Chains A and B, each alone.
Chain A
Amino acid sequence: MQDFFHQSSFAMHTRFEVVWWGVDKSSSLALFEEIRSLLDWMERQISCHDPQSQLYRLNRLARDRAVPVSDDLFQVLKTVEDYRERTLGCFDPNFLHPPNAQQTGARLIFDNSSKSIRFNDPATQLDLGAVGKGLALEKINNDILRNNVEHAFISFGESSILTRGRHPIGDYWPLGLSDMHQPGKTLYAMKLTNHSVSVSSTRKKTADGKAGTYHIYHPYHGKLIQQDKMVMVKSTSPVEAEVLSTALLVADADLQQQILKNFAVEEAVQIIYHHQSPKIIRLI
Chain B
Amino acid sequence: MKEKLNRRDFLKISSTTAIALSAFPWLGAFRNDSHGQGASDRVRLGFIGVGSRGRLLLLSTLALPQELNFDVVAVCDNYEPHYQAAIQLSQNPQVKAFYDYREMLEMNDLDAVIIATPLHEHARISIDAMTAGKHVFCEKAMARHLPDIKQMYETSIKQNKILQIGHQRMFAPKYLKAIQMIRTGQIGKIGQIRAFWHRNGNWRQPIPPDHPELERKLNWRLYREYSAGLITELASHQIQVANWALDKVPVSVCGTGSIVYWNDGREVFDNIALIFSYDNGVQFIWDSMTSNRKYGCEEQIMGNIATMELESNKIFLEEPPPAPGIRQLIHSIEKGIFETVPIGGATWVPERPIRYEGEYISDKFNQEGTELELEAFIQFVRKGKAPENLLKEAYNASIWCILAEDAVYSGEKLTMPKEYII
Contacts and interface: CB of A to CB of B under 8 A. Distances in A.
25 contacts: A1-B333, A6-B326, A8-B320, A10-B320, A13-B348, A15-B320, A17-B323, A43-B355, A49-B354, A51-B354, A153-B329, A158-B323, A158-B325, A158-B326, A169-B337, A180-B344, A184-B324, A186-B340, A199-B344, A203-B346, A204-B348, A206-B346, A211-B346, A215-B347, A232-B344
A173 B341 contact: yes
A209 B330 contact: no
Interface string A162-182: 000001111001111111100
A159 B347 contact: yes
Interface residues on B, range: 20 to 34
Interface string B98-121: 000000000000000000000000
A129 to B, nearest CB: 7
Contact of A49 (B325, B348, B350): B350
Interface in A4-30: 4, 6-10, 13-15, 17, 19, 21
Contacts of A184: 324, 342
A169 B338 contact: yes
Closest 10 CB pairs of A and B: A13-B350, A199-B344, A10-B356, A178-B342, A205-B346, A204-B349, A176-B340, A158-B343, A211-B346, A157-B348
A49 B353 contact: yes
A60 interface: no
Contact residues of B: prevailing secondary structure: loop
Contacts of B332: 167
A176 B341 contact: yes
Contacts of B345: 158, 178-180, 183, 199, 201, 205, 209, 211, 230
Interface in B304-332: 319-326, 329-330, 332
A17 B342 contact: no
B419 interface: no
Contacts of B341: 173-176
Contacts of B348: 13-14, 157-159, 204-205
Interface string A200-223: 110111100111100100000000
Interface of B: 319-326, 329-330, 332-334, 336-350, 352-356
Contacts of B320: 8-10, 15
Contacts of A9: 319-320
B333 A186 contact: no
Nearest to B316: A10
Contacts of B323: 15, 17, 155, 157-158
Given A158-B324, A159-B343, A201-B345, 15 more contacts: A10-B320, A14-B350, A50-B353, A50-B355, A157-B348, A158-B326, A159-B344, A159-B348, A176-B340, A177-B343, A178-B344, A180-B346, A201-B344, A201-B346, A204-B346
A136 to B, nearest CB: 14
A230 to B, nearest CB: 7
B344 A17 contact: no
Contact of A1 (B336, B352, B353): B336
Contacts of B337: 169
Contact of A167 (B319, B322, B333, B350): B333
A264 interface: no
A176 B342 contact: yes
A50 B356 CA distance: 12
Contacts of A232: 344
A19 B347 contact: no
B344 A158 contact: yes
Interface in A205-262: 205-206, 209-212, 215, 230, 232
Given A49-B354, A155-B326, A161 B343 contact: yes
A47 interface: yes
A203 B344 CA distance: 11
Contacts of B343: 155, 158-159, 161, 175-178, 197, 199
B347 A201 contact: yes
A13 to B, nearest CB: 3
Contact of B349 (A4, A167, A189, A205): A205
